[in-house]
Chains A and B, each alone.
Chain A
Amino acid sequence: MQNDHFWFTHVRLETGYRLENGVVTGTETGIFHMRVEQGNIAQIEPETFVFEDSLPKRDMNGKLMLPSFRDMHIHLDKTYYGGPWKAPSIATNGIFTRFEEERELLPKQLPVARERAGKLIELLLQAGTTRIRSHCNIDPSIGLQNLEATLQAAEDYKGKAGIEIVAFPQHGLLLSQSVSLMREALRNGASLVGGVDPATVDGDIEKSLQTTMELAVEADADIDLHIHDGGHLGLFTFQRLADLTEEAGWQGRVTISHALALADIPQEKAAAFADRLAGLGISIASSVPLGRTIPIPLLHERGVKVWLGDDSITDHWSPFGKGDVLEKAGTLAERFHLVDEVELGQTLGFITGGVTPLNRNGERMWPRVGDEASVVFVDAGCSAEAVARRSERVAVFFKGNLVAGALPAAR
């Protein structure tokens, strides 16, 4: 079938909220037809529209269309996924035990790294994810080899998903003396500068952050740092990162992954710092850890962009992880008791880069003519249902191409 010019017919779109006595009790939807041209939505017509062209038609049979999802924090390069089961060991020296293991494990896994990354991408596609930000180890023992494998996997899925790779000095930018390796990684396909706990791992917050920022400026790259350091140690690190972001003019180009310290400090302090993050366009990526969750709704209210990601999917760090970011959104809703129609539906924005079919007031926001035809069709009546019920993903499209699932059977 012609992929660059066709109609999606009988697409269900959300059109507004249903109100009873001033309270939102449900979501109104309608059936539409949409013309897709060159990967974008070129025309949106009502159900009664009379077709006058002979373009191919893909009948979506009333399935609900949502913007496709983004998994903004994952490690494609060290998963066991697709291979035999193995539980993580008991870490006797915290994060350093894991580094020790990686020196042996990653070279051993290298021959299957590309294949496993591919299987994991496939899993993410099935969940409705078409944009992936993956961290990729850059350390002296594995060098750039994991990066090469991950880039190959990304190339294998080129027409199916947008994949960006963070050069991640997992064993410490300074601690493992990986600065030149990082520089090389950034010249060879990695598009963001990563890092991990400037205090606990590198032992020198200032120098670690300064070096990270220099690498970013030199390569004209964005930044995404893993910061697990808790309490005021983490907060102090965030504050210095914010200062450096401002000095370098790197507003809108920095992400803090995990940012666990925000779960430890009083709400007022978190709120005050959120304002600073919002002002500098520093985003937060969270895997919504169940035991220690940062106040995501509060950050969102304060204007901070918060993205969700799956993080580890069965690897030597964690045996868990489903690779389903809609499940993550549902977990977020459940964790923060976002249970009414509006709150549930708006939760979708955390996995779509902020795009929701309706805004908080029930006005139609998406799709619009000109939007990329990266969409997921779900077996649900509205966004709220999809989030709460983790509804079945029927078909996933990336720039107009079917990348997972199948067209629904005729009614």
Chain B
Amino acid sequence: MEHRYWLINVRLESGYETKDGVVTGTKTEVRHLLMEEGNIAQIVPADRPIEDGLPQIDAGYRLALPSFIEKHCHLDKTLLGGRWRPVTPVKSIFGRLDEEKSFDASRSIAIRDSAANYLEASLRSGATHIRTHVDIFPEVGLSHLEEVQQALHLYKDKLSHEIVAFPQQGLLRSNSEKLVREAVRQGAGYVGGVDPATVDGDVERSLQTMVTIAAEEHAGIDLHLHDPDRLGIFTIKRLAELTVEAGLQGKVAVSHAFSLGDIPAAQAAEMADMLADAGITIITSVPMGRKFPPVRLLHDHGVAVAVGCDNVFDIWSPFGNGDILERAGRLAEISGFANERALGQTLGYITGGVTPLDEAGVQAWPKAGDEANLVLVEASCSAEAVARRSKRAATLYKGVVVAGALDQEQ
């Protein structure tokens, strides 16, 4: 594709329709976007003739949304494209951990292939950035990391990524400190972890070890924390303290953080202020049948909240399709975000906070100069896209169509 071209007939949201002060719909306008070196260089009204002879690609009046972010997945676990298998019944998380230790031999598809299938599904869903956890433990060493990096390399011009070195078997429990450190040196930007209490059995030493590695290796942190109620809250508080002590503000995330959904709203608000101060992001997969963090409350207190699909057809779960917009729709459905504004704003949880309209209805995206990462959908507005999980026609990364297709003109 050309470095400079016009993406013509793009529908953009321009404001809310209101009646008696209540938002009743979304106004849109059609624009032509000049794409230059991967950025949106210029935005002009669609009735202005283009006479510069540059190539044109027709968006067909489809709605443009900022492309999505998949913030929590496991590229090395998915079996997408492999043979069907159900989940083996186990008595506890430790049964699953045992099964996983020696699972690679019975995979029906190589990690790099299923990881690539996942990336393809992500792109089709509209995501152009993913954060993946990759298992690091003695039985597999760095082999999962290498395979995932191979898959990501194939997609280096289609999406950006972050890798979390994830000691699934327990950072302390499986003596994986050295391996995790090694993984970070080999390209993982984040130190992972899982339930410092339940899995590692030593909250303080587990957290200290994570933070030490992250600080020394200039990495971030993304901790899987399923531990519920007071135990989870205790762990989060301690992590927040250590984050501030180590100067890691803005580089730390807690995934799942179920405990934030177990406590009363007043207490959750206090926790939210603490998380905002420590610059800790909360990531949820929007589980069914389990309370999860109060997304809206956290957002209102300034906490960054992101959504991820988590397990997609692997030994932990037979479900999931890697469609991150579907997951945003689920978040809206469970949380009762059902009116035009609330639905539209839900998009922010899968775009790193970027929404075409802000809360007040002022156009916030796209602006000239923005990176040309966008998805064209068969919808009339963000709210419809979220509620209806509208069809994605094409995904663009740095101005290039990386999934779906559009008609080229001229």
Which residues on B sit within 8 Å (CB–CB) of A279? Answer: none
* B25 in contact with A86 (CB, 8 Å): yes
Contact of B379 among A85, A339, A341 (CB under 8 A): A85
Any A CB within 8 A of the CB of B394: no
Any A CB within 8 A of the CB of B297: no
**Interface window among B150-158, B229-237, B238-246, B313-321:** B313-321
Which residues on B sit within 8 Å (CB–CB) of A86? Answer: 25
**Interface window among A112-120, A133-141, A241-249, A313-321:** A313-321
* B86 in contact with A340 (CB, 8 Å): yes
Chain B window 79-90, contacts with chain A (Cβ cutoff 8 Å), 1 for yes, 0 for no: 000011111110
Q: How far is the CA of A340 from the CA of B318 in the complex (A)?
A: 8
Within 8 A of A (CB), among B386-405: 387-389
* B334 in contact with A334 (CB, 8 Å): no
Contact of A314 among B332, B334, B388 (CB under 8 A): B388
* A293 in contact with B289 (CB, 8 Å): yes
Within 8 A of B (CB), among A290-338: 290-291, 293, 314, 318-320, 322, 330-331, 333-337
Contact A85:B289 (CB < 8 A) given known A339-B318, A340-B89: no
Which residues on A sit within 8 Å (CB–CB) of B384? Answer: 85, 87, 319
Q: How far is the CB of A199 from chain B (nearest CB, A)?
A: 23
Contact A90:B319 (CB < 8 A) given known A290-B288, A290-B333, A336-B289: no
Question: Which residue of chain A has its CB nearest to the CB of B384?
Answer: A85
Any B CB within 8 A of the CB of A282: no
Contact of B319 among A89, A333, A341 (CB under 8 A): A333
Q: How far is the CA of A331 from the CA of B287 in the complex (A)?
A: 11
Contact of B289 among A89, A335, A382, A385 (CB under 8 A): A335
Main secondary structure of the interface of A (DSSP, over half): loop
Any B CB within 8 A of the CB of A384: yes
Chain A window 92-134, contacts with chain B (Cβ cutoff 8 Å), 1 for yes, 0 for no: 0000000000000000000000000000000000000000000
Any A CB within 8 A of the CB of B336: yes
* B339 in contact with A320 (CB, 8 Å): no
Within 8 A of B (CB), among A338-352: 339-341, 344
Q: How far is the CB of A83 from chain B (nearest CB, A)?
A: 11
Which residues on A sit within 8 Å (CB–CB) of B321? Answer: 390
* A337 in contact with B289 (CB, 8 Å): yes
* A88 in contact with B333 (CB, 8 Å): no
Any A CB within 8 A of the CB of B24: yes
Any B CB within 8 A of the CB of A84: yes
Which residues on B sit within 8 Å (CB–CB) of A85? Answer: 379-381, 383-384, 388
Question: Which residue of chain A has its CB nearest to the CB of B316?
Answer: A339
A sample of 13 more A-B contacts (CB under 8 A), given A90-B22, A319-B388, A340-B86, is A24-B86, A84-B380, A85-B379, A87-B339, A87-B384, A88-B339, A290-B330, A290-B334, A339-B86, A380-B84, A381-B84, A384-B318, A389-B318
Q: Please, could you name 26 A-B residue pairs with CB atoms under 8 Å apart, sorted by A?
A: A23-B88, A26-B84, A85-B383, A87-B25, A87-B338, A87-B383, A88-B339, A89-B24, A90-B339, A290-B330, A290-B333, A291-B335, A318-B338, A319-B338, A319-B383, A319-B384, A319-B388, A322-B389, A330-B319, A334-B288, A334-B317, A340-B86, A388-B318, A389-B84, A389-B318, A390-B321
